[in-house]
Amino acid sequence: MPASSSGTAAVAVRTRREGAVLVATIAHPPVNALSVEVRRGLLQAAEAADADPEIAALLLVGEGRGFIAGADIREFGKPPLPPSLPEVCNRIEACRKPVIAAIHGPALGGGLEVAMAAHYRVALADAKLGLPEVQLGLMPGSGGTQRAPRLMGLQPALELMLSGRHLDAQEALECGLVDRVAEGNDALAAGLAYALQLLATRAPVRRTGEGVLAADIESARATLKGIAADTAKKTRGLFSPLKIVEAVEAGLDLPFAEALRNERQLFLQCIDSPQRAGLVHAFFAEREVAKAPETRSAKPRPLASVGVVGGGTMGAGIAVAVLDAGLPVTMVERDEASLARGRANVEKVYDGLVKRGRMTPEAKAAVLARFAGSTSYDALAGADLVIEAVFEDMAVKHAVFAELDRVAKPGAVLATNTSYLDIDAIAAGISRPQDVIGLHFFSPANIMKLLEIVVPAKVSADVVATAFELAKKLKKVPVRAGVCDGFIGNRILARYRQAADYMMEDGASPYQIDEAVRAFGYPMGPYQVSDLAGGDIGWATRKRKAPTRDPRARYVQIADRICERGWFGQKTGRGYYLYPEGARTGVPDPEVLAIIDAERQRAGVQPRRFGADDILRRYLAAMVNEGANVVRERIALRPLDVDVTFLYGYGFPRFRGGPMKYADTIGLDRVLADIREFAQEDPLFWQPSPLLVELVTQGRNFDSLNHPAD
């Protein structure tokens, strides 16, 4: 993994003699990232070991938290300074004296490639070994694709590189990635003991690169063919996974040195790919969102017990998410029957895990021991944080918050999971608006990573900090949002869903739209999502908003016609699609197409043809334009907050980095030109965001707003 490093330690790799062993200690805090100083230090250590006749072995060991956590993020995007990592690894491997790597903590990416270039490896129990480059659209580029299969075997090595997974010490031992696992927590001592033992037994220099990649080349070729086909299917359109397979395959025929050169070429292709840029953006953005201003200015309040009001879809999911984080939960429902249903909703999740063998019945019982239910609000008197997830109705929310105001202890955080309602109004209804915040979870709340933290006008900073602390405990990705209709995600969603509905009435079928959106990289299209979530939810929202809708705005009634028939999607067996006998994947429904035709006639629309590209241009332009408005109004702090919201809550393909990053990639001038073109048909809907216009005029991109301090 790329790792952040600070300061330029005068000596990033220290060497000293321990008898006949030259100890090279990587000392580049905080995580021993592979900066140019570290690379240079490692190279010099290898040279020094060879040059000194009194040295019989070289030991590589990391100081501090781990061995080497990976590349140095400060060097990303800058011209590479010599020596390159492949050069360093090759020099280590070429050493004429045994080289031992003693690994504790993370040995990831380039860090593991260094370890694999050593001749012997010993790991402490806390070691984490992995080649996670694929997660950033990259591949191992310093011999990893050649050395890992030689050490571990073809299939395990590919599994490691294609999944980006970390192995622990024991797993690494079992697959041959390390030679032994040592007791204790002193990597230096373990490494020295191993080095002395190797010297005592006159263990030879052992160069991984001199081994063969596979004993039986023909069967290896067949295996690789299977893996390539499987990878192509699973990673749909991703570039670097196939390059990993290609690099390994080339190693079957090429001499080692040439296979390394080939790997480097493929690695550079990955570096140049826009997917790499998208994935790296996503990687940094998801770390950046956790740093809201309030997390710096305020300390979180205590967070030892949580109350949840409502045990429906969301309340139960939230309760599970909180229980999974190890906290106790008290659920309040309006009557015994609803409470029983709420409890059953919670238990169902754990029963599923037990059934699939992923949890023992004892573990389930232990988790549920932390779960309590009540029909009385008094049960929430001790809670540090209460999350309300009752019906989406302002009167009901006010009633619930009045009760919370009555029973909650002073300083308790009072949160609402509302999707659209005005949280300032909810807060204004009680005596302690400073304690009220929005915690907008996504369904299923125990699975979906996104948590929109919605910050109303009167909330205190420490309540916001507490919300971010909760996200951390729940292992969610928090995004700070301002109060408006739909916050960041649902507000933008409403716009591009509208654009999709317009296209549907203008001539595209929902099936075509879904297909185009999937081809872009989404797991599902908008009409499949609607069928999955239940069409009734959107219908209720549309009815609620009908009185305030701009009478001049175009309104497509197709969804209403479908809902009026009781076709709410999967749960009713039909929606936009047909779900014969409870099938989870729908098939196109000719009756839906007939409804759409009828609506086109009613609206006097002459249907026209839409290609996949036309569909995407409109869909994404609507998304990006509203994203720009959301940033301009400070509903989202930066464009990257919009990106993370869509990556984690709405299925936007990660390799494209998010909608705002995607817009930067294709060029904001192009997006603006599209919007102006579409505005000729519907100027009310397609109003260019002033922020988009401003950025295009100034020749800037969205990313320039992500780093205001630069």
Q: Catalytic residue positions?
A: 113, 133
The continuous run of DSSP H or E covering 22 comes out as strand 21-26
CB of 416 to ligand NAI, least distance (A): 7
Listed in sequence order, the residues at least 6 apart from 518 whose beta carbon sits closer than 8 Å to its beta carbon are 524, 525
Cβ-based nearer residue to ligand NAI, 311 or 433: 311
Single-letter amino acid code for the residue at 269: Q
Q: How far apart are CA 6 and CA 87, in angstroms?
A: 24
Please identify, using beta-carbon distances, which residue of 315 and 482 lies nearer to ligand NAI.
315
Distance of alpha carbon 573 from alpha carbon 467, whole angstroms:
38
Rounded CA separation 111/131 (Å): 9
Please, what is the minimum distance in Å from the beta carbon of residue 395 to ligand NAI? 10
Task: Please say whether the dihedral angle defined by the alpha carbons of residues 148, 152, 153 and 159, taken in this order, is positive or negative.
Answer: negative
CB atoms within 10 A of CB 584: 8
If the CB atoms of residues 336 and 682 are measured against ligand NAI, the closer one turns out to be 336
Which residue number, 104 or 440, has a Cβ lying nearer to ligand NAI?
A: 440
Q: Toward ligand NAI, which CB reaches closer, 449 or 561?
A: 449
Angle, to 10 degrees, between the axis of helix 612-632 and the axis of helix 659-666?
A: 110
Q: Could you write out the DSSP letters of every residue in 467-532? A: HHHHHHHTT-EEEEEESSTTTTHHHHHHHHHHHHHHHHHHT--HHHHHHHHHHHT-SS-HHHHHHH
Shortest distance (Å) from residue 379 CB to ligand NAI: 12
What is the dihedral sign for C-alpha 422, 424, 425, 427?
A: positive
Phi-psi region of 316 (alpha: psi -120 to 50; beta: other; left: phi over 0): alpha
Nearer to ligand NAI, 48 or 339 (CB): 339
Is residue 330 within 8 A of residue 380, CB to CB? The reply is: yes
The least distance separating ligand NAI from the CB of residue 636, rounded to whole angstroms, comes to 18
CB 106 to ligand NAI: min, Å: 36
Whole-angstrom CA distances from 343 to 380, 381, 393, 709 are 16, 20, 23, 48
Nearest of 136, 239, 138, 277 to residue 703 by alpha carbon = 277
C-beta of 193: minimal distance to ligand NAI in Å?
A: 55
Q: Which residue's CB is nearer to ligand NAI, number 314 or number 623?
A: 314
Residue number with CB closer to ligand NAI (552 or 584): 584
The minimum distance between CB 450 and ligand NAI, in angstroms, equals: 10
CB of 310 to ligand NAI, least distance (A): 3
Residue 176 DSSP symbol: T
Which residue, 76 or 391, has its beta carbon nearer to ligand NAI? 391
CB half-sphere exposure, 510, CA atoms < 13 A: 30
Q: How far is the CB of 311 from ligand NAI (least distance, A)?
A: 5
Distance CA 21, CA 17 (A): 6
Cα–Cα distance measured from residue 302 to residue 387, given in angstroms and rounded to the nearest whole number: 15
Q: Which of 639, 702, 645 is nearest to 668 (CA)?
A: 702
Q: What is the CA radius of gyration of the chain?
A: 29
Torsion-angle region of 158 (φ positive above 0: left; ψ -120 to 50: alpha; else: beta): alpha
Binding site for ligand NAI (CB under 6 A): 309-315, 332-334, 338, 342, 389-392, 396, 399-400, 417-419, 440-443
